[in-house]
Structure 1
Amino acid sequence: MKLKLKGMTWSHERGLNPLVAASQAFRKLEPNVEIEWDARSLSDFELYPLELLADTYDLIMIDHPHIGTAVAKGLLLPLNDRVEEAFLKDQELHSTGLSYASYTYEGRQWALPVDAAAQVSAYRQDLLDQAGLLPARSWSDVLAIAKQLPIGQSIGLPLVPVHAYSTFFTLCAQLSNRAYWSEGLDLPMEVGEQALALMESLMPYVHSESVHQDPIHMLNLMGTSNEIAYIPLIYGYSNYARVGFRPSVASFGNIPSDSGVPSGSMIGGVGLAISSQCRHADIAARFAVMVASPEFQRTSFFLNDGQPGHREAWLDPEVNRLSGGFFKNTLDTLTHGSMRPRFHGYISFQEQAGNLIRYRLMNQAPERRTVIQTLNEMHMQVRREHQETGL
């Protein structure tokens, strides 16, 4: 009897190609099982309600901030009952930073971290060399680069709402060495103001398209033109560090930090989860285990445009040779990264917060203190609303 499973990922080579390859590899192990993948845009991946996918798809690639709502609404199956404990322990032991922990919620594991990412820095080594500049190590270095680039070249910073929020969150976590909203606490006024001030200091120098760009579009611009030489904070995509992926190769490194430790980066990455509506959950779990296994991660997953989550793949010499050292050069940032909140209802807060932060950056209004106060009020209001209604 032939079985067909449906999966949902996001529409980028990194999101789709390794899973199509994995489905073909799984077909050799399970000849009667066919897994078909659909893909949605990056913005849909970050914001689209998971409940609208769980009824249609068996396997879902998810962003960890959706976990709280997914668990509250019973949208996913816990993996603990279908995956051997020894395998889960290995995944935890070889997690790249907080990747594995980001899918652990209320004592259960809701996804396997098959893809790991965080905000890192990106640059065109050839353009920096021509300008006699080095990649930034501190935030004063970033401003120095911005001011010294030749006419026609700029620094970049993705500032669509979700990514304006991401950069703000990273800076707050780095400045304070805490992720206050993830702990259910108000962000201290001085931390938020300092983060906003740092972002504002970069605005006169960022590429004019930054306010309209997400990481994919900004890295495409970096790889197809000479307009962007350096990006201090952007979600890393190892594809752009591979020769031939785009006309020009991007290099990646740790994020700037005035402390010398590249801390605070808001982790991203993607987890492979099983819908609670999946009628063949054991088969779906076997597929997920194959995709997350260290051997598959450092070979087929990576070679088919994937960005692995298993730490062994991040340390693999051949993986790094083929990606211009992307993984070893950004690993410290992943190791010292911070995790977003995952409470039920968080996604609506993230979107509202990003819009307010972006508005402040573009208009120098409202006042910084008003922005931080409003953000804290929005954060607590969303938490209260979902606690009170249970929705």
Structure 2
Amino acid sequence: MQLKGMTWSHERGLNPLLAASEAFRKLEPDVEIQWDARSLADFELYPLELLAETYDLIMIDHPHIGTAVDKELLLPLNDLMEASFLQDQELHSTGQSYASYTYEGKQWALPVDAAAQVSAYRQDLLDKAGLEPARSWEDVLTLARTLPKGQQIGLPLVPVHAYSTFFTLCAQLSNRAYWSEGLDLPLEVGIQALELMESWMPYVHQESLYQDPIQMLDRMGSSEEIAYIPLIYGYSNYARAGFRPFVTSFGNIPSDRSNPCGSMIGGVGLAISSQCQYAELAAKFADMVASADFQRTSFFQHGGQPGHRMAWLDPEVNRLSGDFFKNTLDTLTHGSMRPRYPGYIDFQEQAGHLIRNRLISAMPDRSTVIQALNEMQRQSRGNDARVRGEMR
């Protein structure tokens, strides 16, 4: 008996699931789980309906949930798992990770991987320069201007991550995720976010415009070119000794508020395709992977980034990752959630291109950009009456 799964092609995405499949085979000797992996870009944009036709287990990004439910691509886990288990998952969620896969009163994935935009830095380089990680947005600019020759700050600016940074800044500046509530973004909030991003552009590494978080962290961990990144999706792998030539440290995002709020959460949920012929076995596997004991041991030990809060608080997990989890937990706890309505993914990509083009060319003017973004998100929502309640 075979189950097929799809994840993304990074040590964090594939290795813990391969280990989990071996562990599961000891429980169910007749079950083989085969995993395929796709690039980060494909993971963020690839149509879920094509995956659901082929795979039983799917690692899913929460903005796809609305489309998945609308097209009946996934099985609700409430029908396959004990209510007490799902309640425990919700109780021990890292920030909004569990809630991000709750839609229309059902749970569509388990938050086996939790992430958000955090800050990253090379402690050794900052120490040599007599600098500390930025705590406020003004500090970011000061640090960028003060770095020694040959060192710069980084900021992943491929379209979807240009959008991520803009979304995080808007959510923190306003203490509200307007688009996630089906509302227009206030003009002054969007302009302020663009101004912040534009102020960093003279100091960001030239490859920033073409790199996603994995590519940028690879460069940060293998050269001395990038000393600090104010906003990037955290990957605990890079904080572990030996993963890359140099260790990258991670911390909470800068903030001008009392806490590091607003960060756009990411992470990955483990879902079951509606086409799965062995749904009960798939659910049993997902139950094992999401459990606290597996998350803080095998899942982490094989390169995974757990979603269970008990793993984030585990002393051994933190010791082996340079306190990655302890040092970024406040950011995850106070993070913001993207919209999840059907059609959202197209808006996210289009918005990212518009924001990135503004950063490159200073055209069109900021007000026009924000007005265009609001119009784009209104059009992408169409007449879906569910969107205004999607934060439930």
- One fold, TM greater than 0.5? yes
Counterpart residue type for residue 273 of structure 2: S
**What SS does the aligned partner of 2:382 have?**
helix
What is the aligned partner in structure 2 of residue 322 from structure 1?
Answer: 320
Match of 2:305 in 1: 307
Deviations 1:3-58, CA, capped at 9 Å, x for gaps: 10000000000000000000000000000000000000000000111001000000
Residue 258 (structure 1) shift: 1.0
Q: Is the 8 A contact 1:137 1:260 kept in 2?
A: no
Partner of 1:187: 185
Is this contact kept in 2: 1:320–1:327, CA < 8 A? yes
Partner Cα separation in structure 1 for residue 140 and residue 125 of structure 2: 15
* Cα distance between partner residues in 1 of 2:360 and 2:28: 53
Output the TM-score relative to the length of structure 2: 0.98
Q: 1:79 is aligned with what amino acid?
A: L
Structure 2 stretches lacking a partner, 5+ long:
387-392
Is 2:335 the partner of 1:337? Answer: yes
- The 5 Å alignment of 1:203-214 reads 203-214=201-212
Residue matched to 2:243: 245
Partner of 1:220: 218
CA distance in 2, matches of 1:176, 1:147: 27
Deviation for aligned residue 1:387: 6.6
Shift in Å at residue 92 of structure 1?
0.2
How far is the alpha carbon of 1:260 from its aligned partner? 3.2
Structure 2 equivalent of residue 361 of structure 1: 359
Please tell me whether residue 90 in structure 1 is matched to residue 83 in structure 2. Answer: no
Q: Give the alignment of 1:22-101 within 5 angstroms.
A: 22-101=20-99
Which of residues 262, 265, 269 is equivalent to 2:263? 265
Aligned partners of 2:296 and 2:317: how far apart in 1? 7
One-letter amino acid matched to 1:326 = F
Unaligned runs of 5+ in 1: none
Structure 2: distance between partners of 1:385 and 1:7:
34
Q: Which AA in structure 2 matches 1:38?
A: D
- Residue aligned with 2:259, SS: coil
Shift, 1:150, TM fit? 0.6
Match of 1:151 among 146, 149, 152: 149
The alpha carbon displacement at 1:386 in A equals 6.0
The AA in structure 1 aligned to 2:258 is G
Q: Does the 8 Å contact 1:233/1:255 carry over to 2?
A: yes
Deviation per residue, 1:103-141 (Å, 9 max, x gap): 000000000000000000000000000000001100111
For residues 141-179 of structure 1, give each alpha carbon's deviation from its aligned partner in whole angstroms, at most 9, with x where no partner exists. Answer: 111110010111000000000000000000000000000
Q: Which AA in structure 1 matches 2:141?
A: L
1:345–1:386 CA contact under 8 A, matched in 2: no
Cα distance in 2 for partners of 1:49, 1:375 equals 23
1:261 Cα shift?
Answer: 1.0
Residue 195 of structure 1 and its aligned partner are, at CA, apart by 0.3
Find the aligned partners of 2:279 and 2:83 in 1 and give their Cα distance. 17
1:262-301 equivalent positions in 2, closer than 5 A: 262-301=260-299
Instruction: State the SS of the aligned residue for 2:217.
Output: helix
- Aligned residues between the structures: 386
> What is the alpha-carbon distance in structure 2 between the residues aligned to residue 118 and residue 273 of structure 1?
20
Which AA in structure 1 matches 2:189? V
What's the secondary structure of 1:244's corresponding residue? Answer: coil
Q: Which digits, 9 at most, give the CA deviation of each residue in 1:344-378, with x for residues without a partner?
A: 10000000000000000000000000000000000
Match of 1:347 in 2: 345
TM-score (norm 1): 0.98
- Structure 1 match to 2:120: 122
One-letter amino acid of the counterpart of residue 83, structure 1? M
Which residue does 2:390 correspond to in 1?
Answer: none
SS at match of 2:206: coil
